């Protein structure tokens, strides 16, 4: 996989030209990154990502460069789903989805990290008045006029867009992945051609609209806020593709075989190129223009409109959220290996894929802090007991 990502890096400068904004909205020089696929031994955190683009500071990515990592063994297991647990898809889509979910996600992760987070220019006027762009020449493709705003001095992407910056950027990167996965040269880099390539495109887009629906789990109606940047981003993309109309995406409230509320989401694969691609192209260009020009008001208005979750319209997203919660799959538990040093030899210790194996791996990872760790875990468990008691 690292070889494929290396070829993607080699093609990056050419592929950047395919993105739907003028050359002036791209960095003056592409800072060629490293892109590696790793098998991770242990990842410390509450969740394990499938891919990483570092650093997270966009101003550093703009001027100093960035690195990309794909976690290969996470990709291979994190998104595996049994057919009988695959929610909200038509029966005729499920086998194809299971077959191509992994390969399509590899393509999406590569494009998202390298050409999503790695693309686009921020227009900046330094405190001394110098600009990294020509104020008399750069045209806003949305208005046809000279750009009217930019970042001033020490302002950064995060300081300007603050609370929406993270999700907005994830949405932009996801859109780049959807847009460029339609490129045959990209698919050939991943050794995909013919019918296989067409299936990967279809499943990548289908997975995105399904992910947008699943993302409703992370919306909090009481405060009208989103709790997870990627999930909000995917919901926004679902809204964009639904708004494109012409039968591209269909989202229906249904009743399951158990008599409980269910939902069905479908994607017309014949409409991806004539309807889906132009919709993502327009939206992606708007995201980039607003980001490049530091147009916070425009960015918040655009992103806020597509992030809104209401019960208006035929989709009735608030009601769908209840269905998503009802049908949610149990969160995957990742059992990670440990290493022990025995003299000059390193021994790999693996565990069974069960809850007991997970607990054992965790306790053996922190042997020196075992008593303190156990006390903290028991305190957390006691604090959560009332949640489980109320479900009895």
Q: What is the DSSP string of 272-320?
A: IIIIIHHHHHHHHHHHHHHHHTT-HHHHHHHHHHHH---S-TTT-HHHH
Q: How far apart are CA 336 and CA 323, in angstroms?
A: 32
Does residue 192 sit in helix, strand or coil?
coil
- CB-based contacts of 36: which residues, under 8 Å, 6+ apart? 2, 5, 68, 69, 70
Q: Are strands 338-342 and 345-349 parallel, antiparallel or unpaired?
A: antiparallel
Angle between helices 91-111 and 157-180 in degrees, nearest 10: 130
Q: Which has more pLDDT, 140 or 62? A: 140
Asked if 240 and 306 touch (Cβ cutoff 8 Å), the reply is yes
Q: Give me the residue label for tokens 């001033």.
A: 152
Query: For the whole model, what pTM was predicted?
Result: 0.84
Rounded to an integer, what distance in angstroms lies between the CA atom of residue 118 and that of residue 68? 9
- 99 Cβ partners below 8 Å, 6+ apart? 199
For the stretch 111-126, pLDDT in tens is 998 899 889 999 999 8
Instruction: Kindly list the catalytic residues.
Output: 113
Mean pLDDT of 2-12: 85
Provide the pLDDT confidence category of residue 30 given band limits of 50, 70 and 90: confident
Q: Are 12 and 29 in contact (CB under 8 A)?
A: no
Q: What is the per-residue pLDDT across 239-287, written as a single tens digit (0 to 9) for each?
A: 999 999 999 999 999 999 999 999 999 999 999 999 999 999 999 999 9
Phi, psi (deg, nearest 5) at residue 90: -65, 150
Q: Residue 292 corresponds to which tokens in the numbers above?
A: 């490049």
Reported as a single tens digit per residue, the pLDDT across 283-296 is: 999 999 999 999 99
pLDDT score, position 121 = 93
Backbone phi, then psi, for 15, in 5-degree steps? -70, -30
Taking a C-beta distance cutoff of 8 angstroms, is the pair 87, 257 a contact? no
* 137 neighbors 24 (Cβ within 8 angstroms): yes
C-alpha to C-alpha distances, 381 to 47, 300, 390, nearest whole angstrom? 19, 39, 15
Of the listed ranges 53-57, 146-150, 247-251, 271-275, the least confidently predicted one is 53-57
**For residue 134, what are the CA distances in angstroms to 10, 28, 137, 171, 268?**
29, 12, 5, 28, 43
Spatial contact of 265 and 87, defined as CB atoms under 8 Å apart: no
Structure tokens at 194: 């013919």
List the beta bridge partners of residue 355.
Answer: none
Helices (H), ranges, the chain: 2-10, 12-16, 58-63, 72-78, 91-111, 157-180, 184-189, 194-214, 229-244, 277-292, 296-307, 317-327, 355-365, 370-389
Q: Is 131 helix (H, G, I), strand (E, B) or coil?
A: strand
Give the model's pLDDT for residue 390: 60
pLDDT over 90 (residue 147): yes
Q: Is the per-residue pLDDT at 202 higher than 80?
A: yes
Taking only Cα atoms into account, the Rg of the chain, rounded to an integer number of angstroms, comes to 23
Sheet with 67-71, strands from edge to edge, namely 34-38, 67-71, 51-54
Residue 234: partners with Cβ closer than 8 Å, 6 or more residues away: 171, 174, 208, 211, 212, 214, 215
Residue 1 has pLDDT above 80, yes or no: no
CB atoms within 10 A of CB 163: 11
What confidence score (pLDDT) does residue 204 get? 98
């Amino acid at each position: 996989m690292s070889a494929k990502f290396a070829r993607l890096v080699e093609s990056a400068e050419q592929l950047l030209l395919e993105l739907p904004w003028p050359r002036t909205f791209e960095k003056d020089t592409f800072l060629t990154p490293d892109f590696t696929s790793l098998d991770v031994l242990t990842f410390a955190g509450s969740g394990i990502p499938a891919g990483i683009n570092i650093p997270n500071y966009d101003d550093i990515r703009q001027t100093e460069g960035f690195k990309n990592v794909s976690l290969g063994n996470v990709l291979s297991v994190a998104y595996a789903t049994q057919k009988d647990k695959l929610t909200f898809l038509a029966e005729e889509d499920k086998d194809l989805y299971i077959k191509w979910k992994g390969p399509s996600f590899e393509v999406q992760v590569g494009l998202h990290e390298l050409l999503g987070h790695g693309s686009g220019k921020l227009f900046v006027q330094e405190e001394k008045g110098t600009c990294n762009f020509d104020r008399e020449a750069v045209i806003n493709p949305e208005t046809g006029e000279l750009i009217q705003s930019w970042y001033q001095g020490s302002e950064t992407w995060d300081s300007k867009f603050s609370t929406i910056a993270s999700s907005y950027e994830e949405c932009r990167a996801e859109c780049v992945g959807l847009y460029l996965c339609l490129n045959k040269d990209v698919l050939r880099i991943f050794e995909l051609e013919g019918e296989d390539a067409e299936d990967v495109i279809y499943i990548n887009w289908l997975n995105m609209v399904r992910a947008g629906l699943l993302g409703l789990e992370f919306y909090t109606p009481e405060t009208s806020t989103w709790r997870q940047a990627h999930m909000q981003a995917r919901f926004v993309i679902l809204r964009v593709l639904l708004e494109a109309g012409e039968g591209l995406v269909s989202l229906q409230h249904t009743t399951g075989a158990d008599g409980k509320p269910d939902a069905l989401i479908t994607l017309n694969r014949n409409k991806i190129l004539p309807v889906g691609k132009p919709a993502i192209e327009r939206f992606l260009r708007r995201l980039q223009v607003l980001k490049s020009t530091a147009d916070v008001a425009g960015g918040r208005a655009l992103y806020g409109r597509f992030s809104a979750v209401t019960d208006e319209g035929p989709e009735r997203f608030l009601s769908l959220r209840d269905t998503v919660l009802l049908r949610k799959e149990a969160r995957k538990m990742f059992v990670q290996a440990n290493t022990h040093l025995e003299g000059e030899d390193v021994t790999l210790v693996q565990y069974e894929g069960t809850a007991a194996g997970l607990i054992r791996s965790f306790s053996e990872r922190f042997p020196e802090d075992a008593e303190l760790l156990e006390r903290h875990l028991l305190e957390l468990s006691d604090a959560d007991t009332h949640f489980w008691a109320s479900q009895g």
